[in-house]
Amino acid sequence: MADYCLKIVSNMGNWLRKRTLELISKYNVRLKKKLSQSFLVNDFIVNSLINFLELSPTDTVIDVGAGLGLITKLIAEKVRKVIAIEIDPILAKILRDVTSDLGNVEVIESDVMKFSLPKVDKIFSNVPYGISSLLIIKLLKERCFKIAILTLQKEFGLRMTAKPGTSNYGRLSVIVSLYGNVKKLMIINRRNFYPVPKVDSIAIRLEPLDGAPLELINKIEDITAKLFSQRRRVVRKVIEKFYNKIPDKIPPSIINKRVYELTPSEILKLASSLSDNISPYIAAS
């Protein structure tokens, strides 16, 4: 049985599609491939995603890559405030126009990766494919939210929850496992976007994990980048190549594995052993 709660294959609903096309025509928008600009235009799916946010009238929500502002507006009607972040100046202007009658939408025209996010209750994003990995790691580092509902490229989303020994398992799987709780919500057929992208998408729910070893996150980023650059090699060989020697604390059961077989907890032990300061998270476990 599939472990996501809903699979969407239809093209139900057309209000979003109609308004999206109207705004693109009205403002003579030329969509930029380098920014992965593609808008979710299925009413039923969008309403489902908003329901997954579990919004309340007291919530403050960040909308990353808010685009034309149509979904931003739907969220803003249910909450205290929305902080809408959009890098494209043309879309930011449309966003301001579309939400101008509400009074509770703050538009930030900027690259989300260039500043620290404020503390909020929820985060929503149809994540631009080009920044997916960077944004996920940023969110897990900054821990500025309680719940995030994110739409991602399907294969990318599946890598987030991949298990050791599988083909999708990699550094992102490890980092997300150690620092967040992820739930797959729905697969979204590419036909529900405009313009239609080349791949299907997946919606996920992300929460920061309590008790995560934040003092080691930079080390874990570094060691996973090195390890998974040679994922089929024996761990001992990779550690010797990049760190010159094997820490005494690491048992043979770990260093004799192939990289892709390592569990997140084993990589955490490696990171702790290679760090100057031993994590109290490890010592207590």
pLDDT at 270: 92
Tell me the C-alpha to C-alpha distance, in Å, between residue 19 and each of 15, 160, 259. Answer: 6, 33, 48
| Beta-ladder partners of 63 | 84, 124
Last residue of one domain, picked from the residues 176, 208, 240 = 208
> 135 with 220, same domain?
no
> 142 with 239, same domain?
no
> 232 with 185, same domain?
no
pLDDT at 248: 81
Instruction: Give φ, ψ of 263 to 5 degrees.
Output: -80, 160
pLDDT at 9: 38
> 228 with 93, same domain?
no
Distance CA 68, CA 72 (A): 8
Last residue of one domain, picked from the residues 175, 208, 241 = 208
* Side-chain half-sphere CA neighbours of 127 within 13 A: 27
Helix, strand or coil, per DSSP, at residue 41: coil
> 202 with 218, same domain?
no
Tokens linked to 43: 């009413």
pLDDT in tens, 81-122: 999 999 999 999 999 999 999 999 999 999 999 999 999 999
- Count CB atoms within 10 A of the CB of residue 115: 10
Distance CA 176, CA 179 (A): 5
Q: Which helix (H) or strand (E) holds 39?
A: strand 39-40
pLDDT at 167: 94
- Count CB atoms within 10 A of the CB of residue 121: 20
Query: Which residues form the domain of 274?
Result: 214-283
pLDDT at 214: 92
Residue 33 domain-assigned (yes or no): yes
The three-point CA angle 194-126-16 to 5° equals 45
Distance CA 121, CA 111 (A): 21
Tokens linked to 89: 């100046």
pLDDT at 14: 86
The sheet carrying 201-208 orders its strands as 6-8, 180-188, 201-208, 147-153, 122-126, 60-64, 81-86, 105-109
Residues of the chain below pLDDT 50: 1-12, 276-285
> 244 with 196, same domain?
no
> 231 with 95, same domain?
no
pLDDT in tens, 81-92: 999 999 999 999
Residue 1 domain-assigned (yes or no): no
Distance CA 70, CA 54 (A): 19
> 134 with 262, same domain?
no
The model's pTM: 0.89
3-state helix, strand, coil in the chain (%, to 5): 45, 20, 35
Total length of the chain = 285
What's 236's domain CATH number?
Answer: 1.10.8
What's 187's domain CATH number?
Answer: 3.40.50.150
> 202 with 231, same domain?
no
Domain count of the fold of the chain:
2
pLDDT at 279: 39
> 225 with 195, same domain?
no
Residue 219 domain-assigned (yes or no): yes
> 56 with 160, same domain?
yes
Last residue of one domain, picked from the residues 187, 208, 229 = 208
> 68 with 180, same domain?
yes
